[in-house]
Amino acid sequence: MNYLSATEALRLFRSRDLSPVELMTSVIDRADAVEPHVNALSERLFEEALAQAKQAERAYAPGGDPRPLEGLPVATKDEQPITGRIASDGSLAFTDQVALVTHPVIERIQAAGGIVHARTTTPEFCCAAFTHSKVWGVTRNPWNLDYSPGGSSGGSGAALASGTATLATGSDIGGSIRIPAANTGTVGYKPPYGRVPAMPPYNLDHYCHDGPMARTVADCALLQNVIAGPHPLDVVSLRPAVRLPERLGDVAGMRVAFAPNLGDWEIEPEVAANTAAVADALREAGAIVEEVEVGLRRADVMRAVFIHFGAIFGPMVARIPDQDLLTAYARAFVTDTRDAGDFLTGLELEADVYARIGPLLDDYDALICPTTGAPGLLAGEEYIDTKLTVNGVELDHYLGYALTPVFNIASRCPVLAVPSGRSSSGVPTGVQIVGRTYDDATVFHLGAALERVRPWSFQEALPDAR
């Protein structure tokens, strides 16, 4: 029951073959069993969740009127505040800070009947592609506990993969939804900029995206349809609200560009093989898939990203009076990005990135490429003194193993991250399905078609804890 899809759970609720209380109880029992191993939940709201599940049961009784997410257990990323609850951002510097507002995404989930039964772990300030902090400790990957589930939405990915949530939320400023999705074999969506409302001041940062995470493409679409749309407090939130179709997967005749690499990223052979298998599966589904060269330089992308982070994230971290409270990786983040370059240079580098992506997407309906060049990062490792080696090459900075920041730069492109297979370590790998600017539906059609041809399972995630 813990790996029941959200869409199937809703069907069973409506037929009264399953109750929201039964599902919530199962999810809670699963969390009790696996959380000592995984540590994906920063806060448990189980008592309140069970009470809400009992209320949801009444909505499915004859004469009831269930809302779109009525009774579903939804784990929300701890970064997204809830009024009256601690808003630490994973930092010892803010463990006494209480949220005065609720994030628009959470407001909409609750208004749609979703039950926030837990909040999920992040790295400090969400400034890493792994998930551990001094506040919550190390979060581990359910597929192999020696590995991280990625970051910064690592807790959400790990909760989905370990069966302690039916749906989850994430946010993405450099790959923070897509990297955990790849590492945990789940589905994550980076909507185009402005599609999902966020909170100031980061709603004004075009790298920033809040979005859904799930175990299936249809579930991801279900949650996206709830959280998307304009919000009165977010000036960049788009009108009108765009809804994804319920029927997904028709890709016959679609032209898809297959990029084994976006340029000169290091790609492990296992990742390359799994990405090629996705291209073959989409051909089987009826799409026209052609291999292309994108021609980006990783060094240019990383410099643009560090300039951007150095202008926004770095100063935020640097403002904290007691730097000794911070993790080593948060302090290193400030140092790494401080002198990357001036803002104008960053904009010029960003323009060069889209000059490669835009014409390609004018010729093709979508682009597929790896999410990361290697299956995952080690749990608890900060990659400060130890360098990350990918495909036999030592990287200057560990984040250079991810191909995700390209599409924070090209932020108006929707990106659906889906599983591509598993590595020899047991850790999953993933691909990015990149659409034309603001063309959300196409990436979901391609994801659903891939899921149909190459279905994935969670039966080997934490088998000892079943």
Q: Single out the residue of 365, 388, 379, 337 nearest to residue 435, CA to CA.
A: 365
- Pair 152, 78: CB distance under 8 Å: no
Active site residue 152: yes
Q: How far apart are CA 82 and CA 367, in angstroms?
A: 36
**Annotated active-site residue in 42, 148, 152, 171:** 152
Three-state secondary structure along the chain? Answer: CCCCCHHHHHHHHHHCCCCHHHHHHHHHHHHHHHHHHHCCEEEECHHHHHHHHHHHHHHCCCCCCCCCCCCCEEEEECCCCCCCCECCCCCHHHCCCECCCCCHHHHHHHHCCCEEEEEECCCHHHCCCCCEECCCEECCECCECCECCCCCCHHHHHHHHHCCCCEEEEEECCCCCHHHHHHHCCEEEECCCCCCCCCCCHHHCCCCEEEEEECCHHHHHHHHHHHCCCECCECCCCCCCCCCCCCCCCCCCCEEEECCCCECCCCCHHHHHHHHHHHHHHHHCCCEEEECCCCECHHHHHHHHHHHHHHCHHHHHHCCCCHHHCCHHHHHHHHHHHCCCCHHHHHHHHHHHHHHHHHHHHHCCEEEEECECCCCCECCCCCCCCCCEECCEECCCHHHHECCCHHHHCCCCCEEEEEEEECCCCCEEEEEEEECCCCHHHHHHHHHHHHHHCCCCCCCCCHHHC
**Annotated active-site residue in 42, 77, 171, 237:** 77
- Pair 226, 104: CB distance under 8 Å: no
- Pair 346, 283: CB distance under 8 Å: no
Residue 452 identity (one-letter amino acid): R
Active site residue 42: no
- Pair 164, 31: CB distance under 8 Å: yes
Tokens of 32: 């009790």
Q: How far apart are CA 230 and CA 152, in angstroms?
A: 25
Active site residue 91: no
- Pair 203, 420: CB distance under 8 Å: no
**Annotated active-site residue in 42, 148, 171, 176:** 176
- Residues with catalytic function: 77, 152, 176
